[in-house]
Amino acid sequence: MNNSTMSRSRIFSGLLHLKQNKGFEPKTVIDVGAALGTFELYDAFPRARHFMIEPVSENEPYLATLCSKLPNAEYIIAAAASQSGIAELHISPELAHSSVTNVHQTQSQTSPPEPVADPYLRKVPAITVDEICQQYELEPPYLIKLDVDGNEPDVLLGATQALKDTEYLIIEVSLFGQIHDVIDVMRSQGFVIYDIVDLVYRPTDGALWQADMAFVKEEGLFRQSKSFVPEAHQENLNVHLRAWRDEYIKAIEELSLDEYCSPSGLETEAFEQIKSDCGELFNLRAINLLVRPNWEIDETVLNQKLIQLLKTVLTHPQKHMMTMLITAEDVESEAANLLLASLMMSVLEETEVDESEGEPDFILLTPEQMSQLESITPRITAQVLLECDRPLHEGVEAVPFTSLKDLENAQYPISSEPRAN
């Protein structure tokens, strides 16, 4: 399944990309700074062994319950660090954040740490990721998630052996803190940046505050491809870039001073054309099907209909010529994307899909993109009815309808010409 057109701005979508597009399945997922768990990891890799490291003892009852409900999971209450011993841990009053300030070597890690006067400062056992992998016989390859509120570089120094058997790491980085130190440590271990997800902007001034940064081995599984697009698609890209350049030049030549200075100058017809070569934007193919789910109906009903849709398209004999345009109205685009990605993964695990002839594309249309829907109406083959659909969108009344049942057996005529209204 080609999910490059689906949003990967969240951690789960990034993990789904690894699994479906790259075939990556870690034997062990190590969650450093687990807090109350990371459900995206369990959803993406349900067959892996999940090992959670968490220093805040108040979280232990919930981790114990969580591990009892997962097929292969365990946890320890300790702080990951560059060396084993006793760590000084600062905890926020609401228990949402904790960070290690110092680690002291000790001969006896079995004796309980001494209490301290500060209610938000405590002493906890410290252990390295390398020691955990050896002590608990964790099987590689590993996927490591690291979120320890600023102490990530120190934890990485205690994971140098584990990193040799790690293909993918997700590390929380702060743009006002340790981001450069994290990058330096990872580069020294032969890793490079692969993805950036879950951006957080601070409310005070809108500045980017933190993000989850993914790292992979520079010469590893995820760095085999060196080109921007597959070789077979290069000429199509060249055609698109030439057309884009020509349109931009045309817009420059037609631009007047009055248009530029007026409040709506940047909304001229020329610039609208630059912003959207719709055929390329929506990756239109020979068969383009529109789906307009009502995201506000009962979740169980909606999921059933979407699963039926995905199964029908993925097993359709003409799927390699299909683009599914799924609208995200009255719903957050990220929420719709995550639901579709999760359902897609379930369908792929349960359904035998022949990918030898190619795959369909699934494009999630945001409310902003819906304004351009009318311009591609002649190229929409049909609207697929799920029996839980949104009302007709203005401008697409002429699009013919098809039911899911009819779609299963439909054989669409192939033509490069737009459909006649």
Q: What is the pLDDT of residue 141?
A: 94
Residue 325 and residue 312: Cα distance in Å, rounded? 15
The secondary structure of 328-375 as a DSSP string is --SS-HHHHHHHHHHHHHHHHHHS----TT---EEEEEPHHHHTTGGG
Task: Please report, to the nearest 10 degrees, the dihedral formed by the alpha carbons of residues 289, 16, 220, 184 taken in order.
Answer: 120
Residue 9 and residue 218: Cα distance in Å, rounded? 22
Place of tokens 């909606």: 302
Encode pLDDT of 37-74 as tens digits.
998 899 889 999 999 999 998 999 999 999 999 999 99
Q: What is the pLDDT of residue 348?
A: 81
The alpha-carbon radius of gyration of the chain (Å, integer) is: 26
Q: Which CATH class is domain 282-409?
A: alpha beta
The chain-wide mean pLDDT, for the chain, equals 81
Q: Is the dihedral of CA 363, 364, 369, 371 positive or negative?
A: positive
Residue 87 and residue 103: Cα distance in Å, rounded? 4
Q: Is the pLDDT of residue 4 over 70?
A: no
Q: What is the pLDDT of residue 176?
A: 86
Residue 153 and residue 22: Cα distance in Å, rounded? 28
The pTM of the full predicted model, rounded to 2 decimals, is: 0.60
User: What does DSSP say about strands 382-385 and 401-403: parallel, antiparallel, or unpaired?
Assistant: parallel
Confidence bin at 1 (pLDDT 50/70/90): very low
Encode pLDDT of 128-152 as tens digits.
999 999 999 999 999 999 998 888 9
Residue 243 and residue 73: Cα distance in Å, rounded? 53
Q: Which CATH class is domain 11-223?
A: alpha beta
The secondary structure of 157-185 as a DSSP string is HT-HHHHTTEEEEEEEEETTTTHHHHHHH
Encode pLDDT of 205-236 as tens digits.
888 888 999 999 998 888 888 788 778 888 88
Provide the CA 169 distance to its chain's centre, in angstroms.
Answer: 14
Beta bridge partners of 348: none
Q: What is the pLDDT of residue 216?
A: 93
Helices 299-314 and 333-350 pack at an angle, to 10 degrees, of 60
Beta bridge partners of 327: 365
Confidence bin at 5 (pLDDT 50/70/90): very low
Half-sphere exposure of 34 toward its Cβ, with a 13 Å CA cutoff?
Answer: 30
- Tokens representing 254 are 């037609």
Residue 237 and residue 242: Cα distance in Å, rounded? 9
Encode pLDDT of 325-357 as tens digits.
998 887 887 788 878 887 887 788 788 877 777
